[in-house]
Structure 1
Amino acid sequence: MYDILLPIHSLFRWLVLLSLLYSIYLSARGYCQGWQFSVDHDRIRHWTATIAHIQLVLGILLYTKSITVKAYFSGLVDSAARMESLFFGIIHISSMLIAIVLITIGSAKAKRKKESNEKFKTMLIWFSIALLIIILAIPWPFSPLANRPLIRNY
């Protein structure tokens, strides 16, 4: 199961990033240009949160199956792999959980706002903060904490 979920989780990250970027872009334009918050905007808000939640479920499943995480909690990690196991054991999962909570709160708050500009502003703020956390917590190929390829194919 781990070998199936890992590439799916890796590919799904791009959907999360693209949906967040698109939602933030629309929110910024809608807020700055005084757009009416439409049914299409509401669908984008909803799907952005849904995609993030799917990614969270995939991530939690991976977390429970990960050899790196199990090694971190068992203490059987040599000094060379310590930072990577710490990253996946604590930093990555906690940062992503926080980001998903922020997306969920932002989506719920935006849904309940009455005025269009308040809906756009709420999405813009909450989704932007979540995106920043996600970008910092992704194991990019250039990350000093733990690096992984942009797309996992195994």
Structure 2
Amino acid sequence: MYPILLTVHSVFRWVVLVSLCYSIYLGITGWSRKKTFNKSADFIRHATATIAHIQLMIGYILYFNSPIVAYFRAHFKEAIRQFDFLFFGLIHILLMTIAIVFITIGSAVAKRKESDNEKFKTMTIWFSLALLLILLAIPWPFSPLANRPYFRAFHE
């Protein structure tokens, strides 16, 4: 089960990134061009938040079943000195949780704004902050923090 979820989490990150980037693009164009925040824009706002929440739930399941995190918790004083354990035991989950909180706030506040321009502006700002955190917290293959491949293949 763990390897399957790890693969799903790895692949689903691209869905999160694409939906978030599209939402930000939609927000910027809507905000700058004073467009109407129509049902389509509202659907994209809501879908992006939902996709991010699904990814976070998968991430939490992985976190509490991860051998890396189990080692980190059991051997905290030793593990905190090894950056790979620190990254997955603390940094990754903390930054991703904060990012999803930003998406949730941005989505909820944008939904309740009166003007269309304020809806686009709110969505753009909060989703952009979340994207920045997500990009920092992903273990990219080139990352000096912790690195993993672009796609994790399922191996049992």
TM-score range, shorter chain: over 0.9
Partner of 2:120: 120
Distance (whole Å) between structure 1 residues aligned to residue 18 and residue 110 of structure 2: 19
Q: 1:144 Cα deviation (Å)?
A: 1.3
Matches within 5 A, 1:8-87: 8-75=8-75, 82-87=82-87
Runs of at least 5 residues in structure 2 that lack an aligned partner in the other structure: none
Q: Is the 8 A contact 1:95 1:133 kept in 2?
A: yes
Letter in 1 for 2:86: L
Q: CA RMSD in A?
A: 1.4
2:86 is the counterpart of 1:89: no
Matched position secondary structure for 1:147: coil
The runs of 5 or more residues in structure 1 that have no matched partner are none
1:144 aligns with 2:147: no
Q: Secondary structure at 2:25's aligned position in 1? A: helix
Shift of 1:76: 7.4
Q: TM-score, normalised by structure 1?
A: 0.96
Q: Paired residues, what number?
A: 153
Deviations 1:76-123 (A, max 9, x none): 7977x8110100000000000000000000000000001000000000
Contact 1:11 1:151 (C-alpha < 8 Å) held by counterparts: yes
Within 2, Cα distance between the matches of 1:33 and 1:104?
25
CA distance in 2, matches of 1:78, 1:108: 41
Which residue pairs with 2:3 in the alignment?
Answer: 3
TM-score normalized by the length of structure 2: 0.95
Deviation at residue 143 of structure 1 after TM alignment: 1.0
Q: Percent identity?
A: 59
Q: Where in structure 1 do 4 or more consecutive aligned residues deviate above 2 Å? A: 76-79
